[in-house]
Amino acid sequence: MTAIPQGRTRRTALLSATCALVVTGAALAGCGSEDPDAGTNGVGKLAPDKIQSRTRTAARSAATVRLSGTVVTSGRTYTLDMRLKDDGGTGSVTSKGGTFRLLRIGEQLYLKADADFWDHADGGDGGTGAAGKLDGKYVKVPTADPAYKKFIGFTDKDLLLDGLLTLHGTLAREGHHQQSGTRTIRVTGDKGSGGTLDVSLEGKPYPLRLVRGGGAGTLRFSDWGKDFTVSEPAKGDTVDYGKQLPTS
């Protein structure tokens, strides 16, 4: 075996170390100069009030959206999983341990729940009265009934989004983040006490996550623009109560 001169070995080691330093330095320089808004829709560079305005406009222009999470209103917590479009919506709402489904087609609102829900609403009749008749059926909600006004907002895309997508107080950007793999810019109101909104930096600046101020719930938005169909329930699955519904 031919011996390698020690001088050559030292030169080779020094050259390798120098190359490593050069490569590391270049990598560090690249990291330090990386633009977090490169390749995005550009809203991350805007003033926070402009970001809020852009995301509200994008949300209103979308034909559909899926909304899930919690909303606290009048001291009551509602857990929602709703798919909404301009002329209707469908999904589930859970409150106080009970779950019911909502379906809106145009101005007609339907509510579907089990006997326990209606039994509680009706003051408890053991399922022999209204609760038994309404169990598992889509019940037409009269427009004059208090339940109509109470629940119609959960199925109205524009009304719901307009009421939710407003941060309160002094707005500020809170850096770049991710929601389900999508890059976002985060905007806060009064350092978070007025709400926190994550806005997509990819494609249209849709809102992806909202933490409402004052502990009023957290919502996620997805399936923007993905179409779905709402249709009248079968006649055999529908009950026209014909008067004011039991109070839920």
Q: 122 lies in a domain?
A: yes
Measuring CA to CA, which residue among 45, 237, 58 is closest to residue 139?
Answer: 237
b/e map 48-80, b = 16+ CB within 10 Å:
beebbebbbebbeebebbbbbbebeeeeeebeb
207-211 vs 218-222, strand pairing mode? antiparallel
- The mean per-residue pLDDT over the stretch 148-175 comes to 92
Q: 229 lies in a domain?
A: yes
- Say what the pTM is: 0.78
Per DSSP (E only), the strands in the chain are 64-73, 76-85, 88-95, 98-105, 108-112, 138-141, 171-179, 182-189, 196-200, 207-211, 218-222, 238-240
Q: In angstroms, how far is CA 215 from the centroid of its own chain?
A: 16
> What is the per-residue pLDDT across 47-98, written as a single tens digit (0 to 9) for each?
999 999 999 999 999 999 999 999 998 889 999 999 999 999 999 999 887 8
- The mean per-residue pLDDT over the stretch 122-145 comes to 72
Q: 111 lies in a domain?
A: yes
Q: Considering the chain, what is the average pLDDT of its residues? A: 84
Judged against a pLDDT cut of 60, whether residue 128 lies above it is answered with: no
Give the integer Cα–Cα distance in Å for 37 and 182: 13
pLDDT of res. 127: 46
pLDDT of res. 27: 39
Give the integer Cα–Cα distance in Å for 11 and 21: 15
What sections of the chain are H helices per DSSP?
Answer: 6-33, 48-61, 115-121, 130-134, 146-152, 157-164
Q: Using alpha carbons only, how large is the chain's radius of gyration in Å? A: 27
Contact (Cβ atoms closer than 8 angstroms) between residue 121 and residue 245: yes
Judged against a pLDDT cut of 70, whether residue 123 lies above it is answered with: no
- The mean per-residue pLDDT over the stretch 103-120 comes to 87
pLDDT of res. 47: 97
pLDDT of res. 147: 86
Q: What is the CATH number of the domain that holds 125?
A: 2.50.20.20
Contact (Cβ atoms closer than 8 angstroms) between residue 79 and residue 93: yes
Judged against a pLDDT cut of 50, whether residue 200 lies above it is answered with: yes
Q: How many domains does the chain have?
A: 1
Judged against a pLDDT cut of 50, whether residue 137 lies above it is answered with: yes
Q: 210 lies in a domain?
A: yes
| Tokens 């070995």 -> residue | 9
Give the integer Cα–Cα distance in Å for 138 and 110: 6
Q: Which domain holds residue 185?
A: 43-240
Q: 23 lies in a domain?
A: no
> What is the per-residue pLDDT across 13-57, written as a single tens digit (0 to 9) for each?
544 544 444 344 333 434 455 888 899 999 999 999 999 999 999
Judged against a pLDDT cut of 70, whether residue 130 lies above it is answered with: no
Q: 11 lies in a domain?
A: no
Give, in order, the Cα–Cα distances in Å from 159 to each of 5, 86, 190.
Answer: 81, 10, 24
Contact (Cβ atoms closer than 8 angstroms) between residue 140 and residue 108: yes
pLDDT of res. 122: 55
| Tokens 């006649």 -> residue | 235
Q: 47 lies in a domain?
A: yes
Give the integer Cα–Cα distance in Å for 201 and 185: 7
At position 84, the amino acid (one-letter code) is L
Q: 131 lies in a domain?
A: yes
